[in-house]
Amino acid sequence: MFNRSVVTLTGQMWKMLVGVVLMLVGSVAPAFESIGMSWTVGTIVATIAYGFVIVAITCPKCQQRWFLQALVHAEQYGPLFKGSACPVCSHDFSAGDYVR
């Protein structure tokens, strides 16, 4: 689904997946008493995961933090998942260069 997205093309989809999984864990785990995670700890885990996604996923060409940009300009979320070019500097990553 996201194979041609700029996040995948730059080898950063793992950061996205780690962030999403930790956000889900932090949001859902406290609901299950047997897991032993308080709502406070869950909120901290989810917040750190969100911060990780914002800080860690950057454009290899112009160094912009894509999800920080998208937080300010919501219309940039689409190009991050559908387009093969950086929504800030327009560098096209479909050639396979810049894989980290």
**Which residues of this chain interact with Zn ion, rule CB under 5 A?**
59, 61-62, 86, 88-89
Q: Which CB atom, from 46 or from 86, has the smaller least distance to Zn ion? A: 86
Helix pair angle (13-28, 39-56), 10° resolution: 170
Q: Which CB atom, from 45 or from 93, has the smaller least distance to Zn ion? A: 93
Q: Which CB atom, from 25 or from 98, has the smaller least distance to Zn ion? A: 98
Shortest Cβ 16–Zn ion spacing (Å): 17
Encoded tokens for 34: 């047997």
d(CA 14, CA 31): 26
Shortest Cβ 60–Zn ion spacing (Å): 8
Q: How far is CA 10 from CA 33, 42, 59, in A?
A: 39, 30, 8
